[in-house]
């Protein structure tokens, strides 16, 4: 069964992670996972500049190694980055020692106190260790822009259906999102602005 909302029970297992920020303000937190890559990230950066919006990019360190100039552009243009492991490892499938070494290696390229586990999959032992050094940021709105079974229209609808005050919205600057994001992202931003949402950076 596929659901857009993270499982409430799963969330309850990880009380120290951030799924949505408690805020009285009409604010959302845009996040982009899995970049930086030349095919998508510069396009996202240009679009965000056009709207004067700042976002948080959870980067895969292997991509940072390949495209350091794009990584630098993210920071130079006023956005912030977070650690998304070096090799996009899934915690459930990886032993804790290997997982933590991968996070450490990523931290050498990504100087950030923020961490997001790939797919949101992390074992309690991994989480305990990661929490000593990082603020762990999950999400409460999955655009599902990465899915081949979703159209750009459906990606947009996922955003409009689940966003509320303090929502952390996840998109992907990845090849799998290409073809959907170009349509769904500007449409989503337009809608969020129309609704009066302000775009904020995740507090570090
Ligand atoms: Zn990812």
How do residues 76-116 score in pLDDT, each as one tens digit?
A: 999 999 999 999 999 999 999 999 999 999 999 999 999 99
Q: Which entry of 18, 33, 84, 173 is annotated as an active-site residue?
A: 33
| d(CA 166, ligand 1 centre) in Å | 21
Neighbouring CB atoms inside 10 A of 153's CB total 12
Task: Tell me how far apart the alpha carbons of residues 94 and 89 are, in angstroms, rounded to a whole number.
Answer: 7
Of 137, 134, 132, the C-alpha closest to 110 is 134
**Does residue 119 carry a catalytic annotation?**
no
Q: What is the model's pTM?
A: 0.93
130-140 as b/e: b if 16+ CB within 10 A: beeebbbbbbb
| d(CA 52, ligand 1 centre) in Å | 25
Q: Is it the case that residue 63 has pLDDT exceeding 60?
A: yes
| d(CA 88, ligand 1 centre) in Å | 6
Mean pLDDT of 122-135: 94
| d(CA 152, ligand 1 centre) in Å | 19
94, 118 in Cβ contact below 8 A?
no
Beta-bridge partner residues of 28: 199
Q: Which entry of 79, 84, 88, 172 is annotated as an active-site residue?
A: 172
The pLDDT tens digits of the residues spanning 11-21 come to: 666 668 888 88
Among left, alpha and beta (phi > 0; psi -120 to 50; other), residue 78 is left
**Does residue 33 carry a catalytic annotation?**
yes
Catalogue the E-assigned strands of the chain: 27-33, 56-59, 80-83, 114-115, 135-136, 141-142, 168-172, 198-199
| d(CA 34, ligand 1 centre) in Å | 5
């Amino acid at each position: 069964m596929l659901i857009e909302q993270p499982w409430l029970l799963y969330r309850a297992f990880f009380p120290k992670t951030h799924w949505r920020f408690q805020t009285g303000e009409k604010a959302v937190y845009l996040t982009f996972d899995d970049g930086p890559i030349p095919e998508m990230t510069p396009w996202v950066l240009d679009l965000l500049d056009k709207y004067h919006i700042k976002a948080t990019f959870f980067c895969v360190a292997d991509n940072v190694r390949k495209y350091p100039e794009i990584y630098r552009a993210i920071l130079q243009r006023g956005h912030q980055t977070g650690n998304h492991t070096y090799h996009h490892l899934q915690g459930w499938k990886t032993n804790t020692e290997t997982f933590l070494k991968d996070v450490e290696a990523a931290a050498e390229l990504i100087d950030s106190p923020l961490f997001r586990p790939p797919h949101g999959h992390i074992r309690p032992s991994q989480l305990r260790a990661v929490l000593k050094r990082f603020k762990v940021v999950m999400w409460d709105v999955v655009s599902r822009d990465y899915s081949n079974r979703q159209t750009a229209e459906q990606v947009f609808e996922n955003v409009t259906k689940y966003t509320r005050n303090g929502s952390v919205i996840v998109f992907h600057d990845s090849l799998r999102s290409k073809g959907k994001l170009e349509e769904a992202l500007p449409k989503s931003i337009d809608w969020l602005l129309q609704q009066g949402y302000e775009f904020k950076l995740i507090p570090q």
